[in-house]
Structures are given as C-alpha cells and as structure tokens.
Homo-oligomer: A and B are copies of this chain.
C-alpha cells in the first residue's frame, strides 16, 4: 500500500463504473480495501471530493494514454484502432461503462466542480478524435461528411452508448458498433 489515496481511487473508480455514483458507498470502498470508513473520509472528506478526485485522475491518465497512442502509432487508422481497443477493455474488465457516461447519467446530482472537470475531460477526448479524423481526411485515408469535429461527436457518442448497450446485449453489441464506425470511415 504505497499510496492509500490511489488505492481508494482504484476501488471507487471500479464501483463508479459498475454501480453508479449514488449506488456506491464509503462502506463499499472500505470493505473492499479492508480499512474503516473514517479512513476514507480522512483522505476524501466528502463524496464530492472523492468524485472530483476520480475525474481529475481519470482525465490526467487519459491524456497521457492518448498522447502515448499519438506518438506510438503514426497513422490515423492505427490510432483509432488503439483507442477503440482501449474502450473495449473497459467493458471486458467486468461490465464496466465509461466513467464519463456513468457520471453524465447522474449529471444533475454531482458537484459543480466535478461537472466542470467532466466537461474538460470530454472536451479533451473530442479534440483528440477531431485531430485524428482531420489527419485521416487530409491524408485521404478516411472519408466522412461534414467537419471532423462533428464526426468526432458522433463517434464519441456512439462508443459511450455502445458500452451501455453492451450490458443488456453482451459485448458483441459493442464490437459491432466499432466495426460499423470503421466501415463508415473507410474510403471505398
């Protein structure tokens, strides 16, 4: 237990993505780690603090991951491939949905600061996808109607929705959507 705060976030994140924000409790977290509720409160006094820390860490981590993808894979297609793989891993690790979708579903009850951080997170992903699509179009490797930012919105929404649909209809539903997104972008 090198960093208890990180350990708490790990467990809370898992619970948020499987059960939703209002459906998990400090008790749930403390049970799984094997420490008392009070200790969690010591590190994150209120649930608003906890949720903000969750989104902030997630955003930082995602920024780093996406930048790594950008550097490692040179073509837009391989970058898209890496991104959809990333999202599919969320689903495969136990029926989770994306943190973004989970919190947006309870948007009206989360703290204002968390809302802001969530918006920043979504905006970053959107920008990253937009850049990817713009590159793909410029290099004539991808086709889509309209501006890249609009197509990015579509893909972002579809992946988020597909993760949720996968809960009711299994992982096949998700891979179908991914396949369809790719087919759609293919220059025919």
Contacts and interface: CB of A to CB of B under 8 A. Distances in A.
Contact of A183 (B123, B145, B153): B145
A108 B18 contact: yes
Interface stretch (A33-41, A72-80, A97-105): A97-105
A157 B115 CA distance: 23
A42 interface: no
A79 to B, nearest CB: 20
Interface of A: 18-20, 22-23, 95, 97, 101-102, 104-109, 115, 118-119, 122-123, 144-146, 150-151, 153-154, 156-162, 164-165, 167-169, 173, 176-177, 179-181, 183-184, 186, 188
Contacts of A156: 161, 165
Contacts of A108: 18-19, 95
Contacts of A18: 108
- Total copies of this chain within the assembly: 2
Given A104-B165, A158-B158, A146 B183 contact: yes
A153 B168 contact: no
Given A23-B106, A157-B162, 20 more contacts: A18-B108, A20-B22, A22-B22, A23-B109, A101-B105, A104-B165, A104-B168, A105-B164, A122-B165, A145-B188, A150-B179, A151-B180, A153-B173, A153-B176, A153-B177, A154-B162, A154-B184, A157-B159, A157-B160, A157-B173
